[in-house]
């Protein structure tokens, strides 16, 4: 799964991430807490294993990586082993749709947040969640 980056890219990525050590998911969970939205679950057996789940309000949140889930703004086709990766990524996208459907069937609201939204405009993402939780 991780071999999509060349060694040099990986080194660059790691040096960039070092010291920060916060995945978009953890970052967003902190923001939720700061806004007073607690009591979510992170390891549930719901379809698609949502990243964050509010059981009582039946809200499932996914934080989707721009590369793995084919973000319309940032997705770039990999240069090596293109067929292999595109198969994988396209099946991720298909599965995302299926999972959304399964969750909705059991009465869940699904919110999908792009990784880049957490980095660039997390307040907006937070608002989307807030409006579901307050209804
Ligand atoms: Zn993106």
Concatenate the DSSP letters of all residues of 27-69 into one string: HHHHHHHHTT----BSS--STT--SEEETTTTEEEEEE-TTTT
pLDDT of 18 above 60: no
Query: pTM of the prediction?
Result: 0.82
From the options 3.40.960.10, 3.30.70.141, 3.60.110.10, 3.30.9.30, give the CATH code of 23-133: 3.40.960.10
In the chain, where the domains are located: 23-133
Tell me what pLDDT residue 19 has: 43
CA of 68 to the centre of ligand 1 (A): 10
**Average pLDDT in the 12-17 region?**
50
Average pLDDT, rounded, for the chain? 88
CA of 89 to the centre of ligand 1 (A): 14
CA of 47 to the centre of ligand 1 (A): 24
CA of 120 to the centre of ligand 1 (A): 10
**Residue 64: which of 33, 39, 37, 73 has the closest Cα?**
73
Q: Longest Cα pair distance anywhere in the chain, in angstroms? A: 48
Span 78-128, pLDDT tens digits: 999 999 999 999 999 999 999 999 999 999 999 999 999 999 989 999 999
pLDDT of 69 above 80: yes
Strand partners for 113: 63
């Amino acid at each position: 799964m991780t071999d999509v980056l060349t060694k040099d890219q990986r080194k660059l990525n790691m040096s960039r991430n070092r010291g920060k050590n916060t995945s978009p998911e953890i970052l967003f969970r902190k923001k939720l807490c700061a806004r007073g939205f607690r009591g979510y679950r992170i390891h549930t057996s719901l379809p698609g294993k949502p990243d964050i789940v509010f059981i009582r309000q039946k809200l499932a949140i996914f934080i989707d990586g721009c590369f793995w889930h084919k973000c319309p703004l940032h997705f770039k086709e990999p240069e090596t082993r293109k067929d292999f990766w595109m198969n994988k990524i396209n099946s991720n996208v298909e599965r995302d749709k299926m999972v959304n459907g399964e969750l909705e069937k059991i009465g869940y609201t699904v919110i999908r947040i792009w990784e880049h939204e957490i980095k660039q405009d997390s307040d907006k993402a937070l608002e989307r969640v807030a409006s579901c939780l307050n209804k």
